[in-house]
Amino acid sequence: MLTVKKPKNVLYVCTFLFLLFYCGVFTHLFERDFAKKFHYPYDGDIQNFVEQLRANVTPHVPPINFYNFTFTLAHIDKCKNVESLRLVFLVKTAPQNWKRRVAIRSSWGFERRFSDVEIRTVFLVGQTTNELQKEIDREDREFNDLIQADFLDDYYNNTFKTMMGFTWATRYCPNARFYMFVDDDYYVSTKNLLRFIRNPANYPRYLEPIGRRLSQFDFDLDEAVVLYTGFVFRSSPHRHRTSKWYVSLEEYPYDLWPPYVTAGAYVLSREALLDMYYASFYTQHFRFDDIYVGLLAYKCKIEPFHCNEFYFGKLKYDPQDYKYVVASHGYEDSKEMLTVWTEQRGLGQA
């Protein structure tokens, strides 16, 4: 009996250890303490380099990272000669999602939504198959709002798509007060967004007590405000080897991510966007875009600002529950998004 049990026991132990290994338990044991030991190339204080680059001065340390995109669709005059440009939507979209783009153009991305507020909307897309590219080119000829560069449109290239947006905004649209990066499966209330960026720290409380007009979008914020905001996460890397978001110790050895805003919907002020763009010259590429933007913010010493009205998950629709919602995820069905947006607009809330 003993000779039979020993092999079985060894098999059980080995299986158990393998499961622990596969689930990342052992990996967690070797993680480094983020609070005490965090370093991420470039290993140094880059804020001075960012200031120099913004002033067209060459830093004494060469950049370690370049996003040298070749734009195939750019629309370089999109923001040209636009006075008091308030907001630019940079919508991350997949080439095949034309129905969502059509819905966004006629709802929250409609550029003439408010007569007294200048808004621009562009869609960020990567390279695709020849047949689908023909459709993209045809769509762009009609709407003149697709931004495309020379990288493959793929989930693990989302950081390239995001940095394409940063690059385009810095080169061709640096005159906006705020930029919203948002996925094409979001509901957005443009009206609430404009209210929010007017006074983020007190939104939505400032709208209620003293009876201000809800359509009032005048700024309380200073021109030089540094704002990086949305639904803020403080979380750990996925070490489970079957996870879509698995990260090895070689790629990122620390037990925590820097604070970051979910990439589905976040807002940057002009100052934050420019600082983070130039920080990318000294920040090693990372394949998850929300983490990479969080790394840029951390390098720039920009603290993400959390707002409960940005919903990472889908908020079940109720007309009153959406009164102050800025953005909600989960609207893959463009018809559903339009239905919600239309009703909210009728209530004066979109």
pLDDT digits 0-9 by tens, 100-144: 999 999 999 999 999 899 999 999 999 999 899 999 999 999 999
* pLDDT tens string 68-103: 999 999 999 999 999 899 999 999 999 999 999 999
Compute how many other C-beta atoms are within 10 angstroms of the C-beta atom of residue 256. Answer: 15
The pLDDT, as a whole number, for residue 104 is: 98
**Model pTM greater than 0.95?**
no
Structure tokens at 15: 């299986």
Task: Please provide residue 205's backbone torsions phi and psi, each rounded to the nearest 5 degrees.
Answer: -60, -35
Residue 151 CA neighbour count, 13 Å, CB half: 20
Structure tokens at 97: 């999602």
The pLDDT, as a whole number, for residue 71 is: 97
The pLDDT, as a whole number, for residue 26 is: 57
The pLDDT, as a whole number, for residue 290 is: 97
Alpha-carbon gap, residue 52 to 58, rounded angstroms? 7
Domain boundaries, given as residue ranges, for the chain: 2-30, 37-346
Residues facing 121 on adjacent strands: 89
Residues facing 119 on adjacent strands: 87
The pLDDT, as a whole number, for residue 14 is: 65
Q: At what angle do helices 130-143 and 98-105 cross, to 10 degrees?
A: 10
CATH: 3.30.70, 2.40.128, 1.10.3470, 3.90.550. Which one for 37-346?
A: 3.90.550
The pLDDT, as a whole number, for residue 224 is: 85
The pLDDT, as a whole number, for residue 18 is: 59
* pLDDT tens string 52-72: 999 999 999 999 999 999 999
Own/partner pairs for 203-209, CB < 8 Å, 24+ apart?
203/307, 203/309, 203/324, 204/309, 204/323, 204/324, 207/324
* pLDDT tens string 187-236: 999 999 999 999 999 999 988 765 455 444 556 677 789 999 999 999 99
First-to-last CA distance in the chain? 74
CA torsion through residues 301, 50, 172, 102, sign: negative
* pLDDT tens string 15-51: 655 565 556 655 778 899 999 999 999 998 899 999 9
* pLDDT tens string 239-291: 888 888 899 999 999 999 999 999 999 999 999 999 999 999 999 999 999 99
Per-residue pLDDT for 311 more than 60?
yes
Check if the beta carbon of residue 75 is closer than 8 Å to that of residue 145: yes
63, 69, 70, 71: CA torsion to nearest 10: -140
* pLDDT tens string 145-180: 999 999 999 999 999 999 999 999 999 999 999 999
